[in-house]
Amino acid sequence: MREHLDDEGQLQRTVEFARWGFRPAWAKEKGPRPINARFETAPTNGMFRAAFASTRAVVPMSGYYEWVETDDGKQPYYVHATDEKLLHAAGLTTAEQNVDGNWDVTFTIITREARDAAGEVDDRMPAFLDEDLMAEWLAPGKLEMGEREQLHGALGGVSEQIAATLVTHPVDRRVNNVRTVDRRDEGLIAPLILG
């Protein structure tokens, strides 16, 4: 999800398709395509600095999975809001025009040190936005250094507050098989009793 000014100068918020795995136009074809950008360095890291300044986006999700290594394989856990509301992860995008004249948009999700129940299963988690900060995060235009620092600080505070509201529960290991899993199956997020 991003905001932009249309041809008449009106602010538009749109949901668009983008491929996970950040690939700036200057990157080599076989170069890295990071799916995550570290919160601690996203505004200053050479890979993400320009996107943090001007092409921020929101990645909506109902929750996400993390895995814990056990004696008999990887156990998936589902991390989500206690009230089942949609979560809004802070994302960064980049776009490159392809030979057909269309734009290939790629994105990454900003992650931070886990400060919630997700910390029981992984030491990192997405940095989430609330409704108020989401408007500032999506605002089009390029941010100067001071503005980037202010937005980065606000993201740190808000994402920590949201992290405190998240819960984690184990789910069926069917999640582990991406080739056969039906992503629309609501049973994939149903709590599982271990033991």
Q: What confidence score (pLDDT) does residue 120 get?
A: 67
- C-alpha–C-alpha distance, residues 112 and 122, integer Å: 11
Q: What integer pLDDT is reported at residue 135 of this predicted model?
A: 92
CB contact at 8 A, 48 and 92: yes
Evaluate whether residue 143 is within a structural domain: yes
User: How many helices and strands (H and E) does the chain possess?
Assistant: 3, 11
Q: Contacts from 1-7 at CB under 8 Å and sequence distance 24+?
A: 1/57, 1/58, 1/59, 1/60, 1/88, 1/138, 2/55, 2/56, 2/57, 2/58, 2/93, 2/138, 3/138, 3/139, 3/140, 4/140, 5/140
Q: Is residue 129 part of a domain?
A: yes
pLDDT digit string (tens) for 156-190? Answer: 999 999 998 898 999 999 988 888 888 888 889 99
**CB 58, CB 88: distance < 8 Å:** yes
d(CA 69, CA 80): 20
Predicted TM-score (pTM) of this structure: 0.88
Residue 62 covered by a domain = yes
Whether residue 177 lies inside any domain: the answer is no
Is 92 within a domain? Answer: yes
- In angstroms, the CA 106 to CA 129 distance is 20
Q: Is residue 192 domain-resident? A: no
The answer on pLDDT for 119 being more than 60 is no
How many structural domains compose the chain?
Answer: 1
Spatial separation of the C-alpha atoms in residues 67 and 56, rounded to whole Å: 28
Assess if residue 175 is contained within a domain.
no
Q: In the chain, what percentage of residues exceed pLDDT 70?
A: 97
Between strands 73-81 and 87-97, the pairing is unpaired
CATH code of 153's domain: 3.90.1680.10
The domain containing residue 141 runs over which residues? 2-70+82-165
In a domain, 99, yes or no: yes
- Residues 168 and 79: beta-carbon distance below 8 Å: yes
Looking at residues 20-37, what average pLDDT do you find? 86
Query: Residues 38-56: pLDDT tens digits?
Result: 999 999 998 999 999 999 9
The rounded mean pLDDT for the chain is: 89
